[in-house]
Structure 1
Amino acid sequence: MSFYHNRLLEQDYYPVVRFYYYKEWEGFNMPNHSHEAIEIMYCLSGSCLIEVDGTTHKLKKGQFIFIDGDVPHRLFVEPGKSCRMSNIEFHFEELETVFPSFRHLVSEHEALRMLTESPKSYLLFHDSSDVFQCLNALILELDRKEDESVFTEQLLLGQLFIRMAELAAKQQNDTSEQHVYIQKSIEYMHQNYDRDIRVKDVADAVHLHPGYLHRIFKKAMGTSVNGYLINHRITKAKELLKRTNITITEIPHYIGMNSQQYFSTIFRQQTGSTPKQYRRESRYTDSRTVRSEHFKQQAK
């Protein structure tokens, strides 16, 4: 049963651990597989690759992945490297216990409710140690369990879910906040690209440290702040070359590049042609388009 199945919120079901381990993998290649149980894989040291639902992620110390039931996945540790991890697999059953059922936990905890309302085949987390402590306590309890009581196990599982849900909510808030900073950075560059601005100026404008802005910007946009600024400037330069008579020696000053040599070098890297060649070729193409349209009109 999926972690997000509607039945879990309509009837009284409880999570039950069916498999768990502490293990160190060395140069290991797990076959791709899936199972009904929901799985949490926590990296304690080293690193590994997790291929899940067709996407590969690198899992490092302090990171863990939550994989829903029946989702294809595999673990891969590169030759010569190792990864120590803890793991639990669980599913949901009907039990006789006084501990609140999963649906009651969801109804009482906002972050857990939000987590169940956003179905995903897997979730990747950067832990703040809270989840590790819950997971460690749970595995120790499972190791020394001597009676048939499930109360303590349910207590620890409930705590684990709540900490995981809180972490998911925090990461979502952080991502939303980062998106705002990135959008403000882009707006600032669009408004000031014609000035001699640097990454530090962009970071100051959005009140972030340049190193932090660089990290979140590159992760979200696939390019650095400086790379984005250069691309935007070259786009503007192409428009000026194509649509105005501004001299090529003046254009760098219109786009915030005060060095003619630097502008020409970057322009050629980005477009494969010099500014002069680009202007000549783009205007030739435009003139052919105009003549073509003229002949079309004459033919009507």
Structure 2
Amino acid sequence: MSFYHDHLLEQDFYPVVRFYYYKEWQDFKMQVHSHEAIEIMYVLSGTCLIEVDGKTHKLKKGQFIFIDGHVPHKLHVEPDKSCRMSNIEFKFQKLQTVFPSFRDIVSENQALKLLTETPQSYLLFHDSSDVSHCLDSLILELDRKEKSSVFTEQLLLGQIFIRIAELAAQQQDTSDAHVYIQKSIEYMHQNYDRDIRVKDVADAVHLHPGYLHRIFKKAMGTSVNGYLINHRMSKAKELLKRTNITITDIPHYIGMNSQQYFSTIFRQQTGTTPKQFRKESRYKERSEITGEYFKHSVQ
């Protein structure tokens, strides 16, 4: 049964581990296969290649993959390489236990609810050690055999599911943020010559200005306004070096309608005035041309 099957949220089912191990693989190549059980493969050391659903991924220490049931996959450890991993395979079935069923846990955890609503054949993660600890505890519990507790197994599996769901939500947030940041940068590159503000950028990507500011600064190391100013100054330098546009007109070409503000920002960033920057740039360019001329003349 798939991790995303509707029956899991309609009736009381429980995850049950059918197979588990710690294993160090060396120069190993598995045939492509699939099985009913859902699988978690966690790399403890070394590296390996996982081919799943027609795509190949390289996993290293601290990374793991969650593969849904009936999804074709194989493991490959390259020659002269090794990979130690922990692994569990589980199915869902009905049990007699006082522990909440899978649908009960889903109803109480928003991240897990979102995960079950977004079916994917597999998920790749970089763990912060939480899942590794839960897997270790689960395997030790399963090793106790007749002394193992169904309740404890369900508790540990529930913790693993919730942590995986939280990691998936974090990855989605990061992915979404990246998309918004790229769209914001594109908008600024296309409109830097206009009198735009942070609010205009936020409106263009349909975000609240405060939220855009937060994710942009975290990813880029500067604010939206700071990035826009830097881009405008970069364009101003090009205009000063490559054109004869008057210095008083240049601010209008880069969306800064105040000559005084432009000169102040330009000096803060370059340590010189626009006039001096143009003079030094052209002197340098003439010197390079002259140098090249004498170089070829001597040859």
Give TM class, smaller chain: 0.5 to 0.7
How far 1:47 moved relative to its partner? 0.9
| Farther off after superposition, 113-122 or 138-147 | 138-147
Is contact 2:49–2:59 with CA below 8 Å preserved after alignment? yes
Instruction: Give the whole-Å Cα distance in 2 for the aligned partners of 1:186 and 1:76.
Output: 40
SS where residue 85 of structure 1 aligns? strand
1:169-188 aligned within 5 A: 169-188=169-188
- Code of the aligned partner of 2:162: I
What residue in structure 2 maps to residue 262 of structure 1? none
Structure 1, unmatched stretches of 5+, are 194-205, 213-228, 234-248, 251-255, 260-300
What residue in structure 2 maps to residue 157 of structure 1? 157
How far 1:146 moved relative to its partner? 2.4
Cα gap change, 1:176 to 1:140, in 2 (>3 Å): same
1:120 aligns with 2:120: yes
- Code of the aligned partner of 1:55: K
Instruction: Give the whole-Å Cα distance in 2 for the aligned partners of 1:187 and 1:145.
Output: 61
1:147 aligns with 2:147: yes
- Code of the aligned partner of 2:185: S
1:105 aligns with 2:105: yes
Work out the number of aligned pairs and report it.
219
What residue in structure 1 maps to residue 31 of structure 2? 31
What residue in structure 2 maps to residue 271 of structure 1? none
What are the Cα deviations for residues 138-158 of structure 1, in whole angstroms up to 9, with x where unaligned? 111111232364111111111
Cα gap change, 1:147 to 1:209, in 2 (>3 Å): closer
Instruction: Give the whole-Å Cα distance in 2 for the aligned partners of 1:138 and 1:148.
Output: 10
1:207 aligns with 2:178: no
How far 1:48 moved relative to its partner? 0.8
Cα gap change, 1:118 to 1:188, in 2 (>3 Å): same
- Code of the aligned partner of 2:54: G
How far 1:210 moved relative to its partner? 5.9
What residue in structure 2 maps to residue 91 of structure 1? 91
Instruction: Give the whole-Å Cα distance in 2 for the aligned partners of 1:24 and 1:68.
Output: 23
How far 1:208 moved relative to its partner? 5.3
Instruction: Give the whole-Å Cα distance in 1 for the aligned partners of 2:44 and 2:149.
Output: 29
Structure 2, unmatched stretches of 5+, are 194-215, 223-230, 236-241, 244-253, 255-280, 283-299
How far 1:190 moved relative to its partner? 3.0
What residue in structure 2 maps to residue 11 of structure 1? 11
Cα gap change, 1:13 to 1:208, in 2 (>3 Å): closer
Is contact 2:43–2:60 with CA below 8 Å preserved after alignment? yes
Instruction: Give the whole-Å Cα distance in 2 for the aligned partners of 1:149 and 1:127.
Output: 26
How far 1:209 moved relative to its partner? 6.5
What residue in structure 1 maps to residue 41 of structure 2? 41
What are the Cα deviations for residues 198-226 of structure 1, in whole angstroms up to 9, with x where unaligned? xxxxxxxx5356699xxxxxxxxxxxxxx
SS where residue 134 of structure 1 aligns? helix
SS where residue 105 of structure 1 aligns? helix
What residue in structure 2 maps to residue 50 of structure 1? 50
Is contact 2:141–2:148 with CA below 8 Å preserved after alignment? no
- Code of the aligned partner of 1:119: P
- Code of the aligned partner of 1:147: K
- Code of the aligned partner of 2:217: H
Q: What is the TM-score normalised by the length of structure 1? A: 0.65
How far 1:103 moved relative to its partner? 0.8
What are the Cα deviations for residues 24-64 of structure 1, in whole angstroms up to 9, with x where unaligned? 11111110000000000001111111100001111111111
Instruction: Give the whole-Å Cα distance in 1 for the aligned partners of 2:149 and 2:85.
Output: 27
SS where residue 47 of structure 2 aligns? strand
The percentage of counterpart residues that share the same residue type is 66
What residue in structure 1 maps to residue 82 of structure 2? 82
Cα gap change, 1:101 to 1:83, in 2 (>3 Å): same
What residue in structure 2 maps to residue 264 of structure 1? none
Q: What is the TM-score normalised by the length of structure 2? A: 0.65
Instruction: Give the whole-Å Cα distance in 1 for the aligned partners of 2:192 and 2:78.
Output: 46
